[in-house]
């Protein structure tokens, strides 16, 4: 498996080679392609090399969705993250009581123990999800086109 930075530098070199090709050379378009700006034109425009007013194609900016139209999965993720932060605050408050010298009852100690266990499980789950997502991104970045 290659390092993502090596893959990125190889991609940059490929783009630079494409930019150095003479403009008279035209690539034939395969079936199913649509008329529009080439990949190079879009990349140049994103990099600020081309003035968008010079192109015939108008790129429409999409407005972000309002908070009320978030997808169900986004709402669940938001709720999960808020729950983790809420648990962290509760643990910090209880630990602060302990460091201040307050003697906690058995119920409070059990509650703290259960809260820490639950918090650990949530953090473990979140780290596994992030690990899987990064693995997927690495795999996509290493896919040769």
- From first to last of the 145 residues of the chain, give the pLDDT tens digit: 445 555 556 665 666 665 555 544 444 455 555 567 777 777 777 766 545 555 555 555 666 656 566 688 888 888 999 999 999 999 999 999 888 988 888 998 999 999 999 999 999 999 999 999 999 999 988 887 6
| Sign of the C-alpha dihedral computed for residues 92, 93, 95 and 96 taken in this order | positive
Task: Name the nearest CA neighbour of 113 among 91, 80, 85, 86.
Answer: 91
Report the predicted TM-score, pTM, of the whole model to 2 decimal places: 0.47
Contacts of 47 (CB under 8 A, 6+ apart): none
């Amino acid at each position: 498996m290659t390092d993502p930075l090596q893959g990125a530098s190889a991609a940059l070199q490929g783009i630079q080679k494409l930019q150095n090709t003479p403009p008279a050379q035209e690539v034939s378009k395969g079936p199913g392609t649509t008329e529009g700006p080439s990949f190079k034109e879009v990349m140049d425009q994103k990099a600020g090399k081309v003035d968008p007013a010079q192109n015939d194609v108008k790129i429409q900016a999409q407005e972000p969705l309002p908070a009320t139209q978030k997808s169900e999965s986004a709402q669940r993720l938001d709720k999960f993250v808020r729950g983790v932060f809420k648990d962290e605050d509760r643990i910090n408050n209880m630990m602060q009581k302990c460091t201040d010298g307050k003697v906690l009852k058995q119920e409070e100690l059990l509650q703290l123990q259960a809260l820490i266990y639950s918090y650990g499980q949530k953090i473990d789950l979140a780290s596994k999800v992030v690990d899987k997502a990064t693995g997927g991104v690495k795999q996509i970045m290493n896919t040769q086109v």
